[in-house]
Structure 1
């Protein structure tokens, strides 16, 4: 380009060399990023790359996605399986931690790979796609477990599936009399909004209430393209919820959280959960102490509408589930 700025990529960047060529990784960080790439997957979509300011070493979008050598340092408190999925897996692809709901992980591929992901040891471009037999076993488990009323598709990112395949899975689950709610967790609408086609939106019309939890951590992620993708989902009858992770250097200020939650509401996304960081290996640089998180939320009380207020939650160790963290206030009067 005439000003010497590297051109924005037309496809997903998956190697340190590609990130460097796009101007998103300095030469001095290549060796460290290459070491990280040997253990953890890398993916930065064109939509995400376009949001990164390469001139800002503290860019909050880059911090979420660009590999850093610090990822190879495991702190004493960090765990290989911080949410304890494994002990609660009755069949491959299913996690049953709560009595009335269960996760279905049909694949382990994502459009982008977050540097703080609690499943970072498992996700990757090979997809972790359930075979036909494994998917049948998983769906059969849902069919014979009537206490489960909510099926939650996660992974990986379920919206990476083809509309046909996703529609088939949702249809099979919705046909079970005891399944009352369907939920999907996804980063696709903000990280790869072009994947949210009319065909994909139509595939979500499963005949049962469907909630989509959009993972976003910074207001800048709600681009016009992302808002358009979310609008297609709303028109298909999908209820949109927002989930975020409290991250050092990304959204660890009252102003950043306020901007994020307001951006969600403008996009018709109800802030649902603000997660305390799960202690996955190599994620300590993102950690914000719980008391600091509580203080941030106290600063927001009265500044934002109650519609913008998520529940601040943390996973208990050993798969004990989520607990709300507050903040707490003295009773009135």
Structure 2
């Protein structure tokens, strides 16, 4: 079925249509049934709701399995917590020495300046912490966070996340980048964001300019899960960033019923590469509360990556990773292609299952 997709132009902030942020708003927009309203309100009492006009325009309301709706429209499945699910599934808390800072890895820190987003993904691993009314760093707290970075000369990379940092005004973003730019040991500022695909009108020339420092290099990590998100408007927003000299990587979450098949992943990663975004991570779903209906098995994820390896360009190959619960970091969930043959050589398995002898010549 052909889907009519709205392609809004870049509009001034005051003219943009506001996101749907209530259960009743979802019903009024035709994105949920009126009979589901009591259930939706129970979900919204625990987990924030927001669907931008850009994403609402991509949803086919006649399709009960629409992959965009599944990402943003709440369901009763979110009220089910399965064993092992956690409030803080990747363990930010123990590694937060100062409000807004997570220092889990030696040479980089997260800077969570804001805890709100233009959309709220139903599978979000920080869903217990983000949403309207969540705390955002005030002036003194931001000062303390930047002072922590300045005092730790091992920190080479600062990752702005949240929440979504690109929901901040260009003025506030420029201020943060300028202050980080002034710290000699900071070399990279990375922005983790959904904005170019879910609210591309925000990607104005002023915002793009705000992301760039005089000395530090800015990178942007785009979160996109399905090729339908990468329509003309999103690609134009991405182009404004790339054309300004900001390199883009992407991260995708492996989601049951959204992208857990070879065809969808292939089309998604190809669409990203064509938009000049290098697929970087494919995440195994985190153990966030109420997200069990989204998680695939690791075995399934490994099989999908193996299928991609055989027939899809290397440009389209992300690393399939697990963020170990408890704050222990990310590890690749790679398939094994190499095994010792018992005679000092190796047996290498190709992407289609063929096995081949390989001998090393080492002086």
With the length of structure 2 as denominator, give the TM-score of the two structures.
0.88
Q: Distance in 2 between matches of 1:126 and 1:19?
A: 20
| Structure 2 unpaired stretches of 5+ | 1-7, 9-15, 339-347, 349-355, 358-363
Q: In the alignment, is the contact (CA less than 8 A) between 1:205 and 1:236 conserved in 2?
A: no
The Cα offsets for residues 43-68 of structure 1, whole Å up to 9 and x where unpaired, read as: 00000000000000000000000011
Q: 1:51 is paired with a residue of what secondary structure?
A: coil
Corresponding residue for 2:125? 118
Corresponding residue for 1:219? 227
Q: Distance in 1 between matches of 2:39 and 2:75?
A: 7
Q: Which moved more, 1:111-120 or 1:204-213?
A: 204-213
Corresponding residue for 1:289? 297
Q: Distance in 1 between matches of 2:41 and 2:239?
A: 38
Q: Distance in 2 between matches of 1:307 and 1:295?
A: 19
Q: Distance in 2 between matches of 1:190 and 1:153?
A: 18
Corresponding residue for 2:213? 206
Q: 1:237 aligns with which of 241, 245, 255?
A: 245
Corresponding residue for 1:276? 284
Q: How does 1:29-68 map to 2 (within 5 A)?
A: 29-68=36-75
| 2:186 pairs with 1:179 | yes
Corresponding residue for 1:3? none
Q: 1:70 is paired with a residue of what secondary structure?
A: helix
The Cα offsets for residues 261-318 of structure 1, whole Å up to 9 and x where unpaired, read as: 0010111100000000010000000010001000011111132111110000001121
Q: 1:301 is paired with a residue of what secondary structure?
A: helix
| 2:22 pairs with 1:15 | yes
Q: Distance in 1 between matches of 2:230 and 2:271?
A: 7
Q: Distance in 1 between matches of 2:239 and 2:306?
A: 31
Kindly state the Cα deviation for residue 328 of structure 1 after the two structures are TM-superposed. 2.3
Q: Distance in 2 between matches of 1:128 and 1:54?
A: 34
- Tell me which stretches of 4 or more aligned residues in structure 1 moved more than 6 Å: none
Kindly state the Cα deviation for residue 127 of structure 1 after the two structures are TM-superposed. 4.8
Q: Distance in 1 between matches of 2:135 and 2:63?
A: 35
| Structure 1 unpaired stretches of 5+ | 1-7
Q: Distance in 2 between matches of 1:126 and 1:200?
A: 24
